[in-house]
């Protein structure tokens, strides 16, 4: 029974995180005049397509995933890669510096947009 409750809680938490991230992506993209959920030639979905950039929206603690996704979406669309970095209010780790250090170290040309989660709550 405890295992089932844990699984249910994990699923619900995941759903809340995905929904919050999607809501933020939709709102931010609309503000930019972009196209949300753009389908690429690879049948993947971009969070936001704006004039020059393809934007992957990701919470701070998942910054590592955002690099690969933004590069993939850029290749699939012919646009430049970008990340909308969403800093969570509860974060206690400086993920932003880790993101910038990785991008700089590898000489990646990825634009970073930065927002705080509470701005979109």
- pTM of the predicted protein model: 0.83
Determine the pLDDT at residue 120.
83
Determine the pLDDT at residue 18.
53
Backbone angles phi, psi at 90, to 5 degrees: -85, 0
The domains of the chain are located at: 2-120
SS3 for 23-43 is HHHHHHHHHHCCEEEEECCCC
Determine the pLDDT at residue 81.
98
pLDDT, one tens digit for every residue, the chain (121 residues): 544 444 444 444 444 445 688 999 999 999 999 999 999 999 999 999 999 999 999 999 999 999 999 999 999 999 999 999 999 999 999 999 999 999 999 999 999 999 999 988 7
């Amino acid at each position: 029974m405890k295992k089932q409750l844990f699984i249910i809680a994990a699923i619900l938490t995941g759903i809340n995180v995905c929904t919050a991230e999607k809501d933020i992506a939709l709102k931010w993209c609309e503000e930019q005049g972009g196209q949300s959920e753009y389908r690429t030639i690879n049948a993947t979905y971009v969070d936001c397509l704006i004039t020059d950039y393809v934007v992957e929206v990701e919470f701070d603690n998942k910054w590592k995933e955002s690099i690969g996704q933004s590069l993939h979406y850029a290749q699939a669309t012919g646009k430049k890669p970008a990340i909308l970095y969403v800093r969570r209010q509860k974060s206690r780790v400086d993920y932003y510096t880790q993101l910038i250090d990785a991008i700089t170290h590898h000489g990646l040309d990825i634009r970073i947009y930065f927002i705080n989660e509470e701005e979109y709550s």
